[in-house]
Amino acid sequence: KAGVTQTPRYLIKTRGQQVTLSCSPISGHRSVSWYQQTPGQGLQFLFEYFSETQRNKGNFPGRFSGRQFSNSRSEMNVSTLELGDSALYLCASRPGLAGGGTQYFGPGTRLLVL
Amino acid sequence: TQLLEQSPQFLSIQEGENLTVYCNSSSVFSSLQWYRQEPGEGPVLLVTVVTGGEVKKLKRLTFQFGDARKDSSLHITAAQPGDTGLYLCAGEVSYNTDKLIFGTGTRLQVFP
């Protein structure tokens, strides 16, 4: 089985722009979570989707949004980019049964905001 | 706010040495996971501990979950250069969500 894939792998944007990141989970996985990783704050939970519904949300401003499609692929969007949004954005998937199954992480999208 | 503190933050040792990484919280977690992350990649799960007091071994790595399910440790025996990486503990908030609270991370460098 192919692993979790994320596109693009690298992205450079300027302040005020918006960006959309994509995540394709492992085939058959219905749960997708997003995390932001920065040197200062570490890995922080953004949101979690299951069957196209947002199941949980972290403490991030409304500029951060996401969605999940019927094929379980997910996108996250960040509007009005700020310098502090520069980070590695990680997506993880698992079958979807809460409390069971390993979460598999993708390689991440590294976003640089200038 | 649930926090997981890891110590030490950085560790630089010679091949063959033993080391222990600690992961502490004031919160109780339904399970605790340990990951290793290498540059340019996402974290890879090493182990999940669920029961208070549980000890799991993975070759030279020994993981322990505290009796109260608030803390955990990772012990590596005879470290190898291939063990180099960022070690992260992560607590599962509850069984009804995939949300993980990640620790602050321990960056390990093993020199040959």
Q: Across chain A, where does the E strand assignment appear? A: 5-7, 10-13, 19-24, 31-38, 42-50, 53-57, 64-68, 74-78, 87-94, 104-105, 109-113
- Edge-to-edge strands of the sheet including B61-65? B5-7, B19-24, B71-76, B61-65, B55-58
- Contact at CB, B43 and A108, closer than 8 angstroms: no
| pLDDT values of chain B reduced to their tens digit, one per residue, 112 residues | 567 899 999 999 999 999 999 999 988 888 899 999 998 899 999 999 988 999 999 999 999 999 999 999 999 999 999 999 999 999 987 766 667 889 989 999 999 9
What's the CA gap between A11 and B94, in Å, rounded?
34
Of B97, B100, B102, the CB nearest to A98: B97
CB-CB neighbors (< 8 A) of B104 in chain A: 42
- Contact at CB, A102 and B102, closer than 8 angstroms: no
The confidence score (pLDDT) of residue B1 equals: 58
The confidence score (pLDDT) of residue A90 equals: 97
Q: What is the pLDDT of residues B21-39, one digit of tens each?
A: 999 998 888 889 999 999 8
The confidence score (pLDDT) of residue B67 equals: 92
The confidence score (pLDDT) of residue B9 equals: 94
What's the CA gap between A47 and A23, in Å, rounded?
13
| pLDDT values of chain A reduced to their tens digit, one per residue, 114 residues | 679 999 999 999 999 999 999 999 999 999 999 999 998 889 999 999 998 999 889 999 999 999 999 999 999 999 999 999 999 999 999 887 655 567 899 999 999 999
CB-CB neighbors (< 8 A) of B102 in chain A: 35, 42-45
CB atoms within 10 A of CB A39: 8
